[in-house]
Amino acid sequence: MNFEQLKPQIESIVSETNRTVDERLLSICQLLETHIEYYNWVGFYFRNGNKEELHLGPYVGEPTDHTVIPFGKGICGQVAVSNENFVVPDVAAQDNYIACSITVKAEIVVPVFVNGENIGQIDIDSNTPDPFTEADERFLEFICAKVAGIFS
C-alpha cells in the first residue's frame, strides 16, 4: 500500500472520537508497521509536561527500555530541541544515537506541532539501511498534522 492509499485510513483513525487518544495513536502505529515494509518500529514520544524530556507513548515493535528520553539525547531528544525532521540513513554513523536494537539500521523522526509548539514526535526505526525518502518525510508530516488535530 502506498502513502496516498494510507492517508484516508489515517484520517479515519484520527476522526474516531469515540476512541481514546492512545487507542487512535496505537492504531496509526499498527497501520504503518503493517503496511510499510521497512517501518519496523513505529511509536510516538511526547513532551512530559514542563520537563525537558520525552515520554514514550503508544508504539508497535520490539519492546524498548527508552521510555523517557532527555531533550538533546539521541535522535528523538535532538528533534525535541531542533524542532526539525531528522532522517538518519545509517544509525551507526551517528554519535548521539540511542540504540534500541542491534537490528535497527536507520531512523526518521518528525515532530508534532500544536499551535506552533513541539509537543511530541513520531519515531520510526527501520532494519533496512537508508530506506527513507522525501516521500516518507512528507507522509509523516501529514500524519503529524492530523495527530496535532487530536490535541488542539
- Asked whether residue 12 carries a pLDDT value surpassing 80, the answer given is yes
Ramachandran quadrant class, 83 (left: phi over 0; alpha: psi -120 to 50; beta: rest): left
- What pLDDT shows up at residue 99? 65
The three three-digit cell numbers of residue 147, written as one number = 495527530
Domain count, the chain: 1
Select from 99, 23, 100 the least CA-distant residue to 63. Answer: 100
Quote the CA–CA distance of 94 and 5 in Å, as a whole number.
33
Quote the CA–CA distance of 91 and 78 in Å, as a whole number.
14
- Of the pLDDT bands very low, low, confident and very high (cuts 50, 70, 90), residue 93 is confident
Structural domain harbouring 83: 3-151
CATH of the domain at 22: 3.30.450.40
Burial class (CB in 10 A: 0-12, 13-18, 19+), 121: buried
Measure the CA angle with vertex 41, ends 38 and 44; round to 5°. 125
Identify residue 113 by its one-letter amino acid code: F
The pTM of this model reads 0.95
49-70 pLDDT, tens digit per residue, is 999 999 999 999 999 889 999 9
